[in-house]
Chains A and B, each alone.
Chain A
């Protein structure tokens, strides 16, 4: 079992706002947009909303199992690890997410860029 990451958790609202099999986005000022996925099996994952290939918005891909297929060039990205599947190589950063009492939480430290915010 993975040890729970340490940090503060950012409440991003109720689980019901993301229908199963879909994803929604969370822009981060000064950072990279995050995609929050809800699989058909009821699990939630958060990744940077950017394919390692050509930065396609993964949130708009088709979700199957715990994989999303990028809408731009059909790379398959694991929602668990962010790793490209099959013959493709690359990795999208993931953001620790937990579900508690019907609400979604992201690890704040992973969401907010540690360095200086990029110029807006």
Chain B
């Protein structure tokens, strides 16, 4: 008897695992660890290879790792543990009656317990051309091989999807020498993991590495020639050349096998807390499952699930309760971390730190003194610490002050108080890196009388440039003066420590061109700003960068977004422009028709010499504008922080006292200035003689005609605080009057704070300052006027015509209409 004889053993239960991926193998590992003899295991895998670390495919693509380096379990492991691996033979059917599975090869394998770990499938966007050669997904090693083959030819790659996977694919292809364009449906990259600010920094970094990033970009079709991909076309008609297209638009749980076996599935295979499906002998784990309504696409939950599954299968169930996840982007040189819930909400508090010089953005979200979320960009050293505090639900009240500075700082006992930390600095420690100001210098400057941040900035320059050390300067003020610190001028809003003037100056100095950039560079303490700063920044940017800055409608007040005045009942009023207060029978007829057609409940003549139609519904606005356009009228901007109207009297054409053609000049000025956005509303009037029938001396800019020319008056207001204008100067010709008008407006536009009318602005700055700005330099008037006219090139477009032509339909139409069941059935 030479044949080896096996000792009789208790019959092992037969466990069949479908899926040789990370979840399937990990589950088996956990089982073996608990009870190596309990189950006889057979693993079926679709890929013809051993188990590898799928999340490390990105470094393989990028050439930073080889396949061998990412293998988790070698062939020996399977052999040593008596596991049968059936590779390259996908399971095609589950026979629950017979308790067996049938593989593609026809092999039938009976089971006592079956574990489904089929993972997820890439989401293939249902668009024409998605089956062309050269369109690949990014899921397994075969996909990586296809991408590497394409990269060897060089050329252009398009990655559809700006999430974690897509960006990693883009990074790899870019390192392999391809010219990469990332096409992302949403407005910000990785919007599920990052907030707007971090998404913006990421985008900047990727663009600086030569990738083209297209956001809010909906791919319409993939074009091919002779069955091979040549490019993509977006919904808006943009075409991008491509030799390879990577679909990385997301994943969906792979449930088809489970569905065909009639297991309960929703988005994923539904499992209970022990990872058991609707069939008590069938379990499921990993990305294919749905647990308490959640499907996971990250690796950490999978480890938790496998532990619970193994506990259950070895008779010691403990129940899986779901996972809190964190994300790190595996793109070399980009440090990015996100965890938990950072969408904010009631009782949530944000602690935000921005360091523009280092490109760092950190945000920790607290609720009830516990961390519930964190987003870190640029410096992720403390990511794991925050994540740990988050998972443990640790009370952070005691270390809160220093929390954002990281573990080393917050745990440093007394140093947890930022003031104490600053106090501990030596006198020669640098406070302001931009201007090389030491702590000792700041303190001596405070001692000499600089008792506010602004005073410090204007004397020793500390925190006057990038502002990132403002909090240090504030600490030093508090330390040195105690309660004597003077609070500086009002900041723009609660989101920033900068004043309006600082923000305007820094936008120009640092060439900040979009709102998220301003917020990052100027250390905004909120992720998206608020309803005060967003409209202000939008105005400052459009004033600073005419023709270049793209208006952000989301940051406009409703009236400017809908180009009409909202009324207390939610309807709108519509005011067509009447140049200089002139109208015609045809225009009046069209206004009358529109008033009737759209049910204007009130028709009123305004103080600005035009007609206001009240009670127009949001949905009817484009149509009424279309009708008014057809009669030759355009928007009166009666709703805008903008040039409203130029009021006139009849002047020398009819009036026996008139000295000049005030109506004609008014029309010319209105033609020159209409459409211009301003810090606040702006009214002009032209009176034909000193009787001043057009009330020019309570306008922002008023012209009073006299025999010898034109008096120019500025800074008047007829509102709450009536203020008569100051006389700016007197000019001789109409051309001069217009030139000075343009120059004054531009000075106001470039200097005033948002929502500051000319009257308070003039009182704040003083008439002398305004005169010196306009008259000291003989070219000043010309230069201001020139800048005004340049800006007007981009704004003298009737916004009504755009909307009437169908632009922004979504702003005016309802989503749908809901009718109660009783009425539906009626």
Contact = CB atoms under 8 A, between A and B. Distances in A.
Whether chain B is bound by chain A comes out as yes
Interface of A: 1, 4, 10, 12-13, 16-22, 24-31, 34, 36, 39-43, 54-57, 60-66, 69, 71-72, 74, 76, 78, 80-81, 83, 100, 111-113, 117
A39 B810 contact: no
B815 A36 contact: yes
Contact of B343 (A12, A24, A41): A41
Given A31-B820, A42-B186, A71-B558, A24 B534 contact: no
A25 B814 CA distance: 5
B820 A78 contact: no
Interface pairs A-B: 6 shortest CB-CB: A69-B531, A21-B554, A60-B558, A71-B558, A62-B531, A57-B570
Contact of B823 (A56, A69, A117): A117
B815 A12 contact: yes
Nearest to B194: A41
A81 B347 CA distance: 11
A31 B322 CA distance: 38
A12 B816 contact: yes
Contacts of B820: 28-31, 112-113, 117
Contact of A60 (B195, B293, B561): B561
A87 B431 CA distance: 37
A66 B558 contact: no
B818 interface: yes
B346 A81 contact: yes
20 contacts: A12-B815, A13-B815, A22-B553, A24-B810, A28-B818, A29-B817, A34-B818, A40-B554, A41-B195, A41-B343, A56-B566, A56-B570, A60-B558, A60-B570, A64-B534, A65-B528, A74-B531, A78-B345, A83-B346, A113-B820
Interface in B343-369: 343-346
A31 B816 CA distance: 14
B344 A27 contact: no
A55 B618 CA distance: 16
B531 A61 contact: yes
Given A42-B191, A65-B344, 12 more contacts: A18-B810, A19-B187, A20-B188, A24-B815, A54-B568, A57-B570, A61-B531, A62-B531, A62-B555, A66-B344, A69-B530, A80-B345
A81 to B, nearest CB: 5
Interface in B506-562: 526-531, 534-535, 553-559, 561-562
A33 to B, nearest CB: 8
B821 interface: yes
A20 to B, nearest CB: 5
Contacts of A22: 553-554, 810-811
A82 to B, nearest CB: 10
Given A41-B191, A42-B191, A112 B816 contact: no
A7 to B, nearest CB: 12
B338 to A, nearest CB: 12
B394 to A, nearest CB: 20
Contacts of A117: 820, 822-823
A39 B568 CA distance: 25
Contacts of A43: 343
Nearest to A74: B531
Given A20-B186, A29-B817, A40-B196, A66 B343 contact: yes
Given A13-B815, A29-B818, A41-B191, A1 B292 contact: yes
B656 interface: no
A60 B562 contact: yes
B192 interface: yes
A65 B529 CA distance: 8
A74 B531 CA distance: 8
B192 A42 contact: yes
A64 B528 contact: yes
B819 interface: yes
Contacts of A80: 345-346
Nearest to A106: B818
Contact of A62 (B346, B554, B811, B816): B554
